[in-house]
Amino acid sequence: MKIIMLGAPGAGKGTQAKQIADKYNIPHISTGDIFRANMKAGTELGKKAKGYIDHGLLVPDELTVDLVIDRVAENDCLNGYVLDGFPRTIPQAECLDQALSLKGEKIDYAINIEVPDEDIVNRMSGRRACPSCGATYHIVHIPTKVEGVCNRCGSKLVLRDDDKPETVKRRLDVYHKQTKPLIDYYENKKVLMVVDGTQDMERVFNTIVKILGA
């Protein structure tokens, strides 16, 4: 099962993708997580990506596409995967489709999690992320047992640099201009599924499971 998560920044793509990956036993591939891991490790890719990410801009396609196409060719992807944050532009989607069609494969579902812009800024300012294990929380919706400390590994949680309100607004603009056209793209391919992302997380997940099948 090959799944793409679509939706604005903060719509809940990562939250849902992690659960889908666990339930269906397929890898969760988040380009945002890959870039952040590279930024943390100080790699060349991380240094290049940081300038874009911290300003709320997209990392150029040439740094992104090959990375994902190589990743989905790995052995653990044989039974499918859930892509979170990729594709984010029409050229990215076209490159992915081309690479898949060479192997006689295609995307099965593009799940669009819909959340109005007004709710997004709110969510992002409350998100806290673990820089060590990647877990994410929300100060109201998913509080930790001890404030500011990761339940899973005990590290100190951080507010992502790109979750500052002014950067979130830029990310939303970029989303509307560059990523939203993918909704029509996948609708034309007849794989688009739309989910109301304003429901609580469990309901969103249950809706997705109904679409994917148990």
Under a CB-based contact definition with an 8 Å cutoff, are residues 213 and 31 in contact? no
Based on the number of CB atoms within 10 Å of its own CB, is 197 exposed (0-12), middle (13-18) or buried (19 or more)? buried
Nearest approach in angstroms of CB 17 to Mg ion is: 8
Under a CB-based contact definition with an 8 Å cutoff, are residues 11 and 120 in contact? yes
- 127 interacts with, out of ligand AP5, Mg ion, none, CB within 5 to 8 A per kind: ligand AP5
How far apart, in whole angstroms, are the C-alpha atoms of residue 113 and residue 110? 10
Under a CB-based contact definition with an 8 Å cutoff, are residues 112 and 193 in contact? yes
- 156 interacts with, out of ligand AP5, Mg ion, none, CB within 5 to 8 A per kind: none
160 annotated active-site: yes
How far apart, in whole angstroms, are the C-alpha atoms of residue 95 and residue 138? 34
- 182 interacts with, out of ligand AP5, Mg ion, none, CB within 5 to 8 A per kind: none
Helix, coil or strand: residue 118: helix
Q: Which of 2, 13, 36, 123 is an active site residue?
A: 13
Q: Which is nearer to Mg ion, 33 or 97 (CB)?
A: 33
177 annotated active-site: no
Considering CB under 5 A, how many residues would be counted as binding Mg ion?
Answer: 1
Q: Quick check: 14 binds Mg ion (CB under 5 A)?
A: yes
Q: Which of 88, 169, 203, 210 is an active site residue?
A: 88
Nearest approach in angstroms of CB 36 to ligand AP5 is: 7
Which chain residues interact with Mg ion by CB under 5 A?
14
Positions marked active-site: 13, 88, 127, 160, 171
